[in-house]
Structure 1
């Protein structure tokens, strides 16, 4: 990503050569194979919520912080490096860690000096490479979407733990977990289903409705509530628009009441943000949890603190996951098959990355797991 932004989703992308220095101690030279297109790339290209070039103090940034790479060379030096030449690995997107090993700055996003996977070659700290299990039962495209699953693992366990502090022993089968559509929400709902909850999620296309149903999640067709999002700035004076929203909201809340036996949502996975936040809170049960690990459309939120306190709502906010937890999450995926269903990914070749950026920004991708291929296997 380089140069001034022209307002188009792929407008900040520039195909060019770049150079980096020799491998320092503890670094690995890698060849990216498959990258996962994540919301953080979309945010970087839109220069919102931050301009990562300005934030990093760099004119050019190579994006792409989640994907599968092949290790070409390792300069271990005196450091304890666990990867070898030829290993296929997952990149852990940690730039700067805090004292508890959570991400403070994200690799190939807002952490200066980090080189992402949208390049034919890259070098990085070898400690960020997590080998794919030998003899894995799953394909590289299935593994390449791990970022949504690792993020979901951390967010779900924090949200579920908070819910259990107030609802200590009731059967989860009596409670509904709901999510606005997205790959992370999909992965979380599968964990909630494993824990015994009823699970439901919105979807905006026939393809996604069928996909959710095939995976044991109750699909709620988003198209039934066409005016559910907050009016735009231009629409705020339009009384008819507000009336249409009230109707959409009442219809949606009616569905939630039916699915939850009239109690509301126990845990609501809301990675959308401002346009739907008031709907999320209205749908939430007493002692309910609203949990988020992203901000697809609006970070600035507001609510009535008194109402949230009286309803004993808990708000959970997480980001990425804890680095030392990575091997355990990977091993759970391998052992339990908690991984994108085979064939559910969509892959764009490297030359089509600008098209991928545009399709993602305009919601033209049916899959929850869009990938890009950098080098052949």
Structure 2
């Protein structure tokens, strides 16, 4: 077994946090009519959970380092549970928005503290390999939140689903492992600002999330409007693509347990360049619906290689005592990319068409490829 009990609990907090992102897009069509929310207001409520990370990821990591990551993680989990409970009880739109803001704060607290603890607490894995495992929390949790919320919406209603997530958060909070007197001491904190190398790593990761999250958000619209798919089929293909990114951990995990992870050109080509090239086949008007769907699944499988590479490289570029700030920078850049990707792709499609969106995606992928190739070449011993 790769993870011990403590690391497993830390990983589960990440799954729960990401699930809160996946639940709301499915529930909003049920919530909006009852609370009188417009389409724009509903979209704002959905996106609020990423807004905190996009604005405050790096400062939040510094606060977590000062207050202690265990305390920050426990507070974040409590806020996730409280936010879901507040949403379940919401009588009005402003109430729902306030609860979502609390949930956003909890999400931010988890993503800036849990990876640091994963790296420090790992008993069977190196810090880099532990972070490779952690990198799957987002697609796995997002898929879990989407699937469970969709399955429970009919029997429980939207309030019942939100109450379910509140109870799940409370149960996980109650199962928190106790700190042992013989627990491994945490690394000394010698840096509160991310190193220059970790900022370059974060910028590359932000470019990737802008590329990948934008594609995931746009794919249902493309399949329905351009390929004649039903909403159910488009959702199934998109969801399956998201889950397939988890399979991308296999190669980086195998490599990290045998060799130091590096941003080699073959790996960057597989994880960044080839998925972008596949977009031209996906969005080409002559491509059949089945082929577009198959290429989309292949894109996600290959794109899943990159997040483990990025997270597994944090310890190399963080500098002494800088793991927390480096992770905070990565979290902030990733959240910013996730926020910007969908509207950026949509604007390109609206003005220039789908093939132009493929060109835009290729340009986005070249940013992390060039940045991380240069970063790796500078880090190699001379």
| TM-score, length of structure 2 as denominator length | 0.24
Instruction: Return the structure number with greater strand share.
Output: 1
Instruction: Return the structure number with greater helix share.
Output: 2
Using CA pairs under 8 Å that are at least 6 residues apart, name the structure with larger relative contact order, 1 or 2. Answer: 2
| Structure number, greater radius of gyration | 1
| TM-score, length of structure 1 as denominator length | 0.25
